[in-house]
Homo-oligomer: A and B are copies of this chain.
Amino acid sequence: MSDESPVEGRALTSTGAKLRTAAEYRASLRDGRRIFYRGAPVEDVTEHPALRVAVDHAALDFELAEDERYRALAVAPYGYSRYFSIPRSSEDLLARCALIEAATREGRTLVVLVKEIGTDALFALQRLAPRLGEPYASRIRAFHEHCRDSDLAMAVAQTDAKGDRALGPSEQPNADAYVRVVDRREDGIVVRGAKIHTSVSVNANELLVLPTRELDEGEGEYAVAFAIPPNTDGVTLVASPYLPAAGRDAAEHPLSAGRKMVETVTLFEDVFVPWERVFLCGEAKLAGELARGFVEFHRFTAVSYKLPLVDALVGAGLLAARVNGLEKARHVRDKLAWLAAYATTLRGLTHHAAERCRIVDGLAVPDTLLVNVAKLHFAQGLHTAIGHVQDIAGGLLVTYPAVEDLDHPDYGPALGRYLAGAHGVGGRERVRVMNLISDLTTGDYGGYQAVLAIHAEGSIEAEKLTILAHYPRDDALAYARWLGGLDGGHRSPQSH
């Protein structure tokens, strides 16, 4: 787990590297950033009733580094957070996967993301650095060191609003459908536009902006990548009201009452970015490569952080079967076996992708084909998984009584008795199991996970294209031709 730069071969120095406490992290967010929630300005994100839950959730990352159980995993050899550690080997990738999985597991199936996504972007930038050349390469290295040594939380703003999806950026009737450079000055550039789906931006220290797609020659103004603090002038973070955590009962919503990630529409209204923070500016033909490069690393993060979710689905199915006395019902066993195979396939392909990584310029890149197959497997199965767990659980998922009912001195005891399940499970426990599964699958948290499955880290269609592009097609074609007698040869053609 050495830490040599893939760009120039020099070791990233780690002088001054430190880990921040959760308190330091929280304090760093009170920096005057411009956030709105439901049309109202947010003075202090760490205190805001709706958004503070997201801050608390993100703080988990800083807490784990102090937790004896996780320290070895969470802290890299030189004393900084392992997230910033550039993977050099399968072992490094497996450790990164394990760290992401552990944090998400502790986060009750919700990814923490404040370091995951940013380092995915950093790795992609590093990987592209040899082709970007100077001065980009040095800026990227310096920014990486800055984030690492200051133990920063980072958001990545990639997805543009896109307007008419059938048209490219330069064809849009609305020129601002994609973020673009509107001015180049001596000291930096000025950008305008909006990014959507920006996760953790309200509680990050840096906001990395990347292009979202391939660009044509003449679309250089849209080829821009940079990083700025969220409190930069002209940046407005409009937080989505979806999935509000405030006011939820922790028993009724055991996941979403205390865990939260916030997305923003991120407005850039003539925002100035100094040159040292600009990583791409005008190189249209590299925009797609950077976009894809980021997504490739990020999909490995994605399949890593999906693991606790699929574990939770299997566990929820098993638990519901037990509470209902359905463990031996044949159709339930069939669904449980499906869930177990679903989870095992995802975990197996994810780990195998790390084991079969390529080392490119010293950087360990998880096997692209396997990562995308794993992600597609997850995405295409989640709705079925949800349906299976709901099937085993039963209608109480959406008709359960409230905690206050079970606590009622008058009818609460009777209610608990009537609702008792199998194996001596009381009504209260049965209801809590229903609450867990309801939170996981029928409410807005379940819906959030379902939509993420389809759209986050690149769409299902993008995954299919990537799979087709990376599959060893020539080998498959050659074998088929030999089988069909179209090409001669006593023995089959060799694979490459």
Partner-binding segment picked from A72-80, A212-220, A248-256:
A248-256
A476 at the interface (CB under 8 A from B): yes
B398 touches A263 (CB 8 A): yes
Describe A's contact surface by its main secondary structure. Answer: helix
Interface residues in A412-438 by Cβ distance below 8 A to B read 412, 414-415, 417-424, 427, 429, 432-433, 435-436, 438
A479 at the interface (CB under 8 A from B): yes
Residues of B within 8 A of A176 (CB): 417-418
A202 at the interface (CB under 8 A from B): no
Partner-binding segment picked from A148-156, A276-284, A287-295, A335-343:
A335-343
A464 touches B399 (CB 8 A): no
A330 touches B330 (CB 8 A): yes
1/0 per residue, CB under 8 A from B, across A238-274: the answer is: 1111110000001110110000000111010100000
Partner-binding segment picked from A121-129, A135-143, A402-410:
A402-410
Q: Which residue of B lies closest to A461 (CB)?
A: B331
Partner-binding segment picked from A7-15, A20-28, A190-198, A222-230:
A190-198
Q: A163-B421, A395-B456, A479-B311 known; A38 and B404 CB under 8 Å?
A: yes
B484 touches A435 (CB 8 A): yes
A422 contact from B164, B251, B427, B477, Cβ within 8 A = B164
Interface size of A in residues (CB-CB distance below 8 Å) = 157
A411 contact from B238, B255, B395, B440, Cβ within 8 A = B238
A443 contact from B443, B481, B485, Cβ within 8 A = B443
A30 at the interface (CB under 8 A from B): no
Residues of B within 8 A of A486 (CB): 429, 432-433
B241 touches A402 (CB 8 A): yes
Residues of B within 8 A of A109 (CB): 483
A376 touches B341 (CB 8 A): yes
B417 touches A174 (CB 8 A): yes
CB distance from A475 to the nearest CB of B (A): 8
Q: A265-B415, A348-B370, A395-B159 known; A484 and B447 CB under 8 Å?
A: no
CB distance from A82 to the nearest CB of B (A): 18
Partner-binding segment picked from A51-59, A111-119, A181-189, A379-387:
A379-387
CA distance A106 to B482 in the complex (A): 10
B450 touches A390 (CB 8 A): yes
CB distance from A405 to the nearest CB of B (A): 5
CA distance A252 to B444 in the complex (A): 13
A301 at the interface (CB under 8 A from B): no
A400 at the interface (CB under 8 A from B): yes
A312 touches B196 (CB 8 A): no
A422 touches B166 (CB 8 A): yes
Partner-binding segment picked from A203-211, A349-357, A358-366:
A349-357
A491 at the interface (CB under 8 A from B): yes
A2 at the interface (CB under 8 A from B): no
CA distance A396 to B242 in the complex (A): 10
A31 at the interface (CB under 8 A from B): no
Residues of B within 8 A of A161 (CB): 418-420, 427
B492 touches A105 (CB 8 A): yes
B36 touches A411 (CB 8 A): yes
Residues of B within 8 A of A236 (CB): 411
A29 at the interface (CB under 8 A from B): no
A398 contact from B422, B451, B481, Cβ within 8 A = B451
Residues of B within 8 A of A420 (CB): 161, 163, 174, 177
CA distance A69 to B250 in the complex (A): 47
CA distance A329 to B241 in the complex (A): 30
A97 at the interface (CB under 8 A from B): no
CB distance from A355 to the nearest CB of B (A): 6
A238 touches B405 (CB 8 A): yes
B438 touches A105 (CB 8 A): no
Residues of B within 8 A of A174 (CB): 417-418, 420
B408 touches A36 (CB 8 A): yes
A436 touches B483 (CB 8 A): yes
Q: A164-B325, A238-B415, A240-B401 are in contact. List 19 more A-B contacts (CB 8 A).
A: A38-B402, A39-B405, A108-B483, A159-B395, A163-B420, A166-B329, A236-B411, A265-B399, A265-B415, A308-B479, A315-B480, A318-B473, A331-B334, A333-B468, A341-B373, A386-B450, A395-B455, A398-B447, A429-B486
* Interface CB pairs A-B, < 8 A, 21: A159-B395, A161-B419, A163-B422, A164-B422, A173-B424, A194-B418, A243-B398, A254-B483, A254-B485, A263-B398, A265-B419, A312-B479, A315-B480, A318-B473, A333-B464, A334-B334, A337-B468, A382-B387, A383-B384, A394-B455, A443-B444
